[in-house]
């Protein structure tokens, strides 16, 4: 497909729920440092795709290969250990802990200290946790109870958590949903910067077309579970099939958000 | 051959009664999402009321009319309970609902003794079904045959009710999605009330129909509720077909289990339940449950290790407690030792329930196993006390490792029911395996050696162990493991996606909690000088839950405070009144409805509120330089 070394390689993914083909025969790949957007209207199969990549949902058929290793059928926690970080469409954080503690738990897991019982977490990897929070601009929130955070801040916290295991691939399901427009741009700029620096591949789904066309290196368009278009933002923007099937009229592209 | 067929028919007859009660529980759960612990109490009430009515009313009509009237009367009581109590706690965490309905059960247990007296009551035979029918050379009571027919008939009526009436369709819709039903303009309040009334009617009918077969007594409630829990765990909560199939299965296993393992027939049921849970964790006909409800509004602020001042206060408290023998008499010291032991017990449950989010309703199993462990080692092996104390809790550890493995496959109400059933199994073994455990007579004269003998020494020993265990558990709460465990409680999804094997963490926590409870139990054996099946009983499991609840589920030190207050109060209460269950049940209901945060939770809320204005600005000020660094 491309000359660049592949980080993630997905081949022939299928999933149906009863009679509904949520995902059909989806194949694509992600290169290190590449930012790939997965877009499509509601119900196109984006989240199902995501869930199959990290093992949340078992695929009916198909292969997921991460850095040469077949990870199909592995549990989410095993996939994470192989270097895949993930954020959720609806944030999943530990509401009874502080912001820093949320990151610390991820670091504890990463350093295989989950069964350490006699040390104090308070003194565990504080600097590393604060560095990660600094990366997403949340150093001032470290001691705040996570349950008090605004939704946009929770999204940034999820990014910090996802970076805790030094991932090779980031899966971000609607990373900017629920954020203010300026926050969206900042978060994606930040993600892009981290990805380029550390050669992390990023796969994200998004409804905000501004975000998608500004930050994605490449775009895959899903409709009814199948890939209908793939290429650079310009290619996708001008793909008549995308216009016809997905957008209806091409005017939406570029300016406004597609509230699909 | 004939004998086996007759045994099979007896099993079917028992299955019908079991099905009536279990289907009621299932219907109520399906719509209201409440596991009605008081279901056994309504069953028992049905039997008592039917006893009185069938004695008063004469003739065939009197008997059958009395049965139906009894079920209706109890259903009306159920409706009142729903309107006055349950409506207040529909949005509470499951634990609170289970506890509130358990509180009701306690109250009913004392009330039936108040009204009908403590003796077993033998009811009338059913008119028209007094004799026996000869089948395969054996006599089968004709009433059994009536019951065998009744089960499928009720199943059929329920099916018609749910598929052919407007009410039934609403109930089925609400079982699938009650928010949607509410959005469609259905008056949820009355739907819930009518469903609860119908479920209670079935339970009471099941109880009333038992009077020709069985004596009526005031322990019927717990016996039936455990069996019903086993039935719904196997069949799947919310499924009436599942309740029917599982009721037949369980009743037949009981009928034939007695032939295979006369002493410990319940083992067979347990094995089947274990297999079902491994293959289909949500029962044969059940559906996976949505994630358990969080405890909104109960958490005060993120847990923190003790500050310097709090540490000093804690140390002063321990020193003061250690000085008690200087002023207190022997009785007070015995009470003090008992309180210290229950602090251990409550803290162990707190670890599992508050930190791990796994509310065990059978934690006494591991307490009791620790006690029996000591008894075996001391009486049978004749080992020295210190060795017994060190090794006795291992029995709790083994029990927790085995049962915990199965229990953690489930969560929420299923976890609660399963742990309760496990505890009841351990209790049955202790009760039935007379040659080893002494059965009801227990194992006697386990006395401490001289170094720990005497009220003062034993008090110090208990206090020292309690401080050590509570301290160690607290260290674990704030260790990486403790955070990982709390993480699995807060968000399973997040935990799995950062590489945490939630099941292994929870299993480990279960074993830790079981071992700590076992330590409490082994001290308890020496305190009382004996062990009895009661040390494993449901009553003790619920005491532990109430201690944690009273102190504050969402706090770190709630268990300790709760245990001290609860134990002191209950010892005093038992010495003052014969109706302690009635009062205790009332207290539980009151806490759940009025003080869900518990003692420590309320204190923390006051503290947070009183320094809220200053702390907020302080936090803001503090965050600035932190950000700049």
Query: Can you give the CATH number for the domain in which B209 is found?
Result: 1.10.3470
Nearest to A105 among B493, B498, B626 (CB): B498
DSSP assignment of B87-134, as one string?
A: HHHTTS-HHHHHHHHHHHHHHHHHHHHHHH-SS-B--PPPTT--SEEE
pLDDT value of position A2: 44
Residue with tokens 């109250």: B107
Select from A124, A142, A166 the last residue of a domain. A166
- Same domain for B437 and B362? yes
- Same domain for A15 and A68? yes
| Interface touch A105/B484, C-beta < 8 Å | yes
HEC string of B430-479 equals HHHCHHHHCHHHCECCCCCCHHHCCHHHHHHHHHHHHHHHHHHHHHHHCC
| Interface touch B482/A117, C-beta < 8 Å | yes
pLDDT value of position B275: 81
**Tokens (6 digits) for B65:** 């009319």
- Decide if B155 contacts B19 (C-beta within 8 A): yes
A35-39 and A218-223 beta bridge pairing:
parallel
pLDDT in tens, B322-349: 999 999 999 999 999 999 999 999 999 9
Instruction: Examine the pLDDT at B71 and tell me if it is beyond 90.
Output: yes
Q: How long is chain A?
A: 260
Phi, psi of A92 (to 5 degrees): -125, 105
- Does ipTM surpass 0.85 in this model? yes
Residue B87 lies in a domain: yes
- Same domain for A214 and A238? yes
Residue B294 lies in a domain: no
- Decide if B422 contacts B395 (C-beta within 8 A): no
pLDDT value of position B612: 57
- Same domain for B353 and B460? yes
The domain tally of chain B equals: 2
pLDDT value of position B301: 67
Residue with tokens 């008992």: B338
- Same domain for A120 and A139? yes
Q: Please classify residue B451 by burial: count the beta carbons closer than 10 Å to its beta carbon, then call 0-12 exposed, 13-18 middle and 19+ buried.
A: exposed
- Same domain for B312 and B254? no
- Enumerate the residues of chain B whose CB falls inside 8 A of the CB of residue A145: 301-302
B622 Cβ contact partners less than 8 Å away, ≥ 6 residues apart: A143
Phi, psi of A216 (to 5 degrees): -75, 140
Taking the Cβ of residue B390 and every Cβ of chain A, the question of whether any pair is shorter than 8 Å is answered with: no
- Same domain for B405 and B454? yes
- Same domain for B269 and B356? no
Phi, psi of B397 (to 5 degrees): -60, -45
Taking the Cβ of residue A75 and every Cβ of chain B, the question of whether any pair is shorter than 8 Å is answered with: yes
**Tokens (6 digits) for B359:** 């509310």
- Same domain for B242 and B319? no
CA dist A234 and A252 (Å) reads: 14
- Same domain for B251 and B368? no
- Decide if B271 contacts B230 (C-beta within 8 A): no
Does residue B201 or residue B92 have the better pLDDT? B201
- Decide if B150 contacts B210 (C-beta within 8 A): no
Taking the Cβ of residue A72 and every Cβ of chain B, the question of whether any pair is shorter than 8 Å is answered with: no
Instruction: Report B:201-220 residues touching A (Cβ under 8 A).
Output: none
Structural domain for A128, as ranges = 86-166
Residue A173 lies in a domain: no
CA dist A155 and A142 (Å) reads: 15
Nearest to A77 among B482, B489, B501 (CB): B501
- Same domain for A80 and A1? yes
- Residue B495: pLDDT band (50, 70, 90) is very high
pLDDT in tens, A109-162: 999 999 999 999 988 999 999 999 998 889 899 999 988 888 888 988 999 999
Residue B289 lies in a domain: no
Share of chain B above pLDDT 90, in %: 51
Share of chain B above pLDDT 70, in %: 94
Nearest to B499 among A77, A121, A122 (CB): A77
**Tokens (6 digits) for B99:** 């506890």
pLDDT value of position B611: 67
- Same domain for A80 and A186? yes
Structural domain for B458, as ranges = 308-610
**Tokens (6 digits) for B247:** 């009721």
Residue B49 lies in a domain: yes
Phi, psi of A83 (to 5 degrees): 105, 35
- For chain A, give the mean pLDDT: 87
- Same domain for B370 and B264? no
pLDDT value of position B264: 64
- For chain B, give the mean pLDDT: 88
pLDDT value of position A254: 45
Residue B615 lies in a domain: no
Alpha-carbon distance A130 to nearest alpha carbon in chain B (angstroms) = 10
Select from A111, A145, A166 the last residue of a domain. A166
**DSSP single-letter state for residue B305:** P
The C-alpha angle A157, A162, A164, rounded to 5 degrees, equals 100
pLDDT value of position B199: 96
**3-class secondary-structure state, position B135:** strand
Residue A63 lies in a domain: yes
CATH code of the domain covering residue A34: 3.40.50.300
| Rounded average pLDDT over B399-413 | 90
Nearest to A86 among B294, B491, B497 (CB): B497
Instruction: Examine the pLDDT at A246 and tell me if it is beyond 80.
Output: no
Alpha-carbon distance A78 to nearest alpha carbon in chain B (angstroms) = 6
- Decide if B334 contacts B527 (C-beta within 8 A): yes
CA dist B393 and B569 (Å) reads: 27
Residue A171 lies in a domain: no
- Same domain for A227 and A256? yes
Put residue B226 in one of left, alpha, beta given phi > 0 → left and psi -120 to 50 → alpha: alpha
Which chain A residue shows the shortest CA-CA distance from B507? A115
Distance of CA B97 to the CA centre of its chain: 11
| Interface touch B483/A141, C-beta < 8 Å | no
- Enumerate the residues of chain B whose CB falls inside 8 A of the CB of residue A89: none
| Interface touch A81/B499, C-beta < 8 Å | yes
**3-class secondary-structure state, position B589:** helix
pLDDT in tens, B542-576: 889 989 988 888 888 889 999 999 999 888 888 88
Instruction: Examine the pLDDT at A54 and tell me if it is beyond 90.
Output: no
Taking the Cβ of residue B476 and every Cβ of chain A, the question of whether any pair is shorter than 8 Å is answered with: yes
| Interface touch A142/B499, C-beta < 8 Å | no
Instruction: Examine the pLDDT at A4 and tell me if it is beyond 70.
Output: no
- Same domain for A57 and A97? no
Which chain A residue shows the shortest CA-CA distance from B485? A114
Q: Please classify residue B51 by burial: count the beta carbons closer than 10 Å to its beta carbon, then call 0-12 exposed, 13-18 middle and 19+ buried.
A: buried
CA dihedral for B505, B506, B509, B514, sign (positive or negative): negative
Instruction: Examine the pLDDT at B96 and tell me if it is beyond 90.
Output: no
pLDDT in tens, B81-93: 999 999 998 888 8
- Same domain for B390 and B499? yes
- Enumerate the residues of chain A whose CB falls inside 8 A of the CB of residue B627: 139-140
DSSP assignment of B44-73, as one string?
A: HHHHHHHHHHHHHS-HHHHHHHHHHHHHHH
- Same domain for A113 and A70? no
- Say how many CB pairs under 8 Å bridge A and B: 127
- Same domain for B257 and B324? no
- Same domain for B352 and B259? no
Alpha-carbon distance A218 to nearest alpha carbon in chain B (angstroms) = 26
**DSSP single-letter state for residue B34:** -
- Residue B3: pLDDT band (50, 70, 90) is confident
Instruction: Examine the pLDDT at A3 and tell me if it is beyond 70.
Output: no
Share of chain A above pLDDT 90, in %: 48
Instruction: Examine the pLDDT at B247 and tell me if it is beyond 70.
Output: yes
- Same domain for A259 and A225? yes
- Same domain for A208 and A229? yes
Residue B119 lies in a domain: yes
CA dist B178 and B28 (Å) reads: 13
pLDDT in tens, B417-464: 889 888 988 988 898 888 888 888 999 989 898 899 889 999 999 999
Top mean pLDDT of A44-48, A211-215, B14-18, B97-101 is at: B14-18
Residue from B300, B292, B370, B180 nearest B596 by CA: B300
Residue A98 lies in a domain: yes
- Enumerate the residues of chain A whose CB falls inside 8 A of the CB of residue B493: 88, 92
- Residue A256: pLDDT band (50, 70, 90) is very low
Residue A67 lies in a domain: yes
Instruction: Examine the pLDDT at B111 and tell me if it is beyond 80.
Output: yes
Residue B291 lies in a domain: no
- Decide if B98 contacts B413 (C-beta within 8 A): yes
Select from A166, A201, A227 the last residue of a domain. A166
Residue from B420, B409, B402, B406 nearest B274 by CA: B406
- Decide if B562 contacts B551 (C-beta within 8 A): yes
- Same domain for B274 and B366? no
HEC string of chain A equals CCCCCCCEEEEEEEEEECCEEEEEEEEEEECCCCEEEEECCCCCCHHHHHHHHCCCCCCCEEEEEECCEECCCCCHHHHHHCCEEEECCCCCCCCCCEHHHHHHHHHHHHCCCCCCCCCCHHHCCHHHHHHHHHHCCCHHHCCCEHHHCCHHHHHHHHHHHHCCCCCCEEEEECCCCCCCHHHHHHHHHHHHHHHHHHCCEEEEECCCHHHHHHHCCEEEEEECCEEEEEECHHHHHCCHHHHHHHHCCHHHCCCCCCCC
Taking the Cβ of residue A88 and every Cβ of chain B, the question of whether any pair is shorter than 8 Å is answered with: yes
The domain tally of chain A equals: 2
pLDDT value of position B289: 64
pLDDT in tens, A78-101: 999 999 998 888 888 998 899 999
- Same domain for A226 and A256? yes
- Enumerate the residues of chain A whose CB falls inside 8 A of the CB of residue B475: 117-118, 120
| Interface touch A147/B299, C-beta < 8 Å | yes
- Same domain for A79 and A190? yes
Residue A97 lies in a domain: yes
């Amino acid at each position: 497909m491309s000359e660049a070394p592949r980080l993630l390689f997905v081949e022939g993914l299928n999933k149906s729920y009863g009679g509904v083909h949520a995902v059909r025969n989806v194949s694509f790949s992600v290169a290190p440092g590449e930012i790939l957007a997965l877009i499509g209207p509601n119900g196109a199969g984006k989240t199902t795709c995501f869930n199959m990549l990290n093992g949340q949902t078992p695929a009916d058929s198909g292969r997921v290969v991460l850095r040469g290793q077949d990870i199909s059928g592995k549990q989410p926690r095993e996939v994470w250990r192989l270097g895949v970080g993930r954020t959720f469409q609806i944030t999943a954080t530990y509401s009874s802990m502080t912001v820093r503690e949320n990151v610390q738990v991820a670091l504890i897991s990463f350093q295989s200290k989950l069964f350490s019982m006699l040390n104090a977490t308070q003194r565990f990897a504080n600097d590393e946790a604060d560095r990660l929070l600094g990366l997403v601009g949340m150093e001032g929130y470290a001691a705040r109870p996570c349950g008090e955070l605004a939704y946009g801040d929770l999204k940034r916290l999820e990014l910090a958590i996802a970076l805790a295991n030094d991932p090779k691939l980031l899966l971000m399901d609607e990373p900017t949903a629920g954020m203010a427009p300026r926050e969206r741009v900042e978060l994606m700029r930040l993600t892009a910067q981290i990805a380029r620096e550390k050669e992390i591949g990023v796969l994200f789904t998004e409804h905000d077309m501004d975000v998608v066309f500004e930050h994605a290196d490449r775009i895959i368009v899903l409709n009814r579970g199948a890939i209908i278009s793939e290429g650079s933002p310009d290619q996708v923007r001008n793909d008549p099939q995308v216009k016809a099937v997905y957008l209806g009229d091409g005017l939406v592209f570029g300016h406004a958000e597609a509230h699909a | 051959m004939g004998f086996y067929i007759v045994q099979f028919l007896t099993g079917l007859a028992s299955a019908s009664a079991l099905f009536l009660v279990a289907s009621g529980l299932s219907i109520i759960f399906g719509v209201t999402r409440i596991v009605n612990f008081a279901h056994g109490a309504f069953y028992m009430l049905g039997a008592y009321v039917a006893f009185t009515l069938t004695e008063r009313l004469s003739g065939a009509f009197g008997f059958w009319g009395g049965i139906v009237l009894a079920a209706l009367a109890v259903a009306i009581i159920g409706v009142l309970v729903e309107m006055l109590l349950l409506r207040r706690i529909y949005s509470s965490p499951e634990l609170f609902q289970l506890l509130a309905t358990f509180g009701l059960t306690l109250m009913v247990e004392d009330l039936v003794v108040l009204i009908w007296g403590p003796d077993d009551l033998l009811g009338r035979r059913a008119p028209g079904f007094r004799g026996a029918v000869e089948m395969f050379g054996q006599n089968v009571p004709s009433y059994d045959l009536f019951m065998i027919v009744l089960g499928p008939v009720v199943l059929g009526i329920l099916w018609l009710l749910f598929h052919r009436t407007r009410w039934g369709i609403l109930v089925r819709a609400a079982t699938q999605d009650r928010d949607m039903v509410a959005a469609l303009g259905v008056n949820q309040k009355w739907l819930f009330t009518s469903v609860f009334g119908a479920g209670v009617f079935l339970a009471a009918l099941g109880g009333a129909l038992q009077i020709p077969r069985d004596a009526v007594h005031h322990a019927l409630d717990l016996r039936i509720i455990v069996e019903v829990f086993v039935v719904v765990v196997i069949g799947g909560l919310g499924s009436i077909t599942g309740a029917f199939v599982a009721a037949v299965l369980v009743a037949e296993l009981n009928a034939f289990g007695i032939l295979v393992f006369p002493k410990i027939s319940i083992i067979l049921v347990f094995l089947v339940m274990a297999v079902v849970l491994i293959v289909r964790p949500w029962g044969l006909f059940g559906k996976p449950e949505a994630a358990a409800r969080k405890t909104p509004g109960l958490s005060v602020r993120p847990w923190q290790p003790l500050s310097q001042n709090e540490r000093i206060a804690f140390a002063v408290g321990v020193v003061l407690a250690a000085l008690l023998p200087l002023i207190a008499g022997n009785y007070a010291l015995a009470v003090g030792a008992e309180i210290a032991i229950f602090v251990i017990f409550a803290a162990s449950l707190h670890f599992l329930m508050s930190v791990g989010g796994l509310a065990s309703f059978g934690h006494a199993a591991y307490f009791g196993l620790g006690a029996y462990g000591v008894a075996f080692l001391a009486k049978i092996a004749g080992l020295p006390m210190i060795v017994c104390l060190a090794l006795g809790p291992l029995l709790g550890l083994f029990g927790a490792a085995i049962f915990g493995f199965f229990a953690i496959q489930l969560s929420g109400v299923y976890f609660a029911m399963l742990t309760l059933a496990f505890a009841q199994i351990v209790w049955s073994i202790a009760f039935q395996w007379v040659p080893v455990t002494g059965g009801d007579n227990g194992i006697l004269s386990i006395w401490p050696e001289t170094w720990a003998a005497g009220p003062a020494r034993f008090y110090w020993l208990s206090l020292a162990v309690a401080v050590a265990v509570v301290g160690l558990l607290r260290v674990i709460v704030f260790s990486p493991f403790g955070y990982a465990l709390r993480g699995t409680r807060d968000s399973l999804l997040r935990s799995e996606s950062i590489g945490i094997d939630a099941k292994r963490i929870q299993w480990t926590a279960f074993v830790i909690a079981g071992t700590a409870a076992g330590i409490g139990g082994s001290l308890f054996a020496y305190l009382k000088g004996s062990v009895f099946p009661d040390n494993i009983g449901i009553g003790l499991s619920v005491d532990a839950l109430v201690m944690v609840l009273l102190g504050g589920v969402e706090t770190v030190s709630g268990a300790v405070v709760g245990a001290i207050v609860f134990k002191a109060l209950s010892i005093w209460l038992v010495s003052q009144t014969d109706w302690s269950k009635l009062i205790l049940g009332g207290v539980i209901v009151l806490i759940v409805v009025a003080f869900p945060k518990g003692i420590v939770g309320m204190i923390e809320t006051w503290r947070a509120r009183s320094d809220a204005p200053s702390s907020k600005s302080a936090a803001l000020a503090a965050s600035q330089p932190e950000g700049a660094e």
